[in-house]
Amino acid sequence: MIIGLCTIELHLPGNGSLKGKRRVLKSLIARVHREFNVSIAEVDHQDVWQSAVLGVVCVSNGNNYVHGLLTKVVEWIEHNRPDVQVVDFKIEIL
């Protein structure tokens, strides 16, 4: 069993409240979960208006599949969500 973990640091420019941040992240999290069938949640910077850290996890039996899937999640966010900027991401295979 291979477990893949991707930590994605996001910047939410123009966001002025935690309520606005919640709205953006709730939509993003639901869409990523639906598109890629991965587990995803906000894992850090919960009290910061314009910053968020998401944790994305998947399980499979192949290293290449896990790494490719998590890379596609990051690329999807970069291309389909112009309202958020990917600052950094890290993929770990366990």
Instruction: Give me the residue spans of the domains in the chain.
Output: 2-93
Tokens read off for 44? 């850090």
Contact (CB, 8 A) for 15 and 82:
no
Give pLDDT, residue 14. 81
pLDDT higher than 90, residue 49: no
In the chain, the percentage of residues whose pLDDT exceeds 90 is 78
Mean pLDDT of the 77-86 span: 93
**8-48 pLDDT tens trace:** 999 999 888 888 899 999 999 999 999 999 999 999 988 88
CA distances from 82 to 10, 12, 14, 63, 66 (A): 12, 10, 12, 30, 25
b/e burial code for range 43-62 (CB count within 10 A of at least 16 → b)? eebeeeebbbbbebbbeeee
Angle at 28 between CA 71 and CA 38, to 5 degrees: 50
Q: Is the pLDDT of residue 56 over 90?
A: yes
* CATH number for region 2-93: 3.30.70.1120
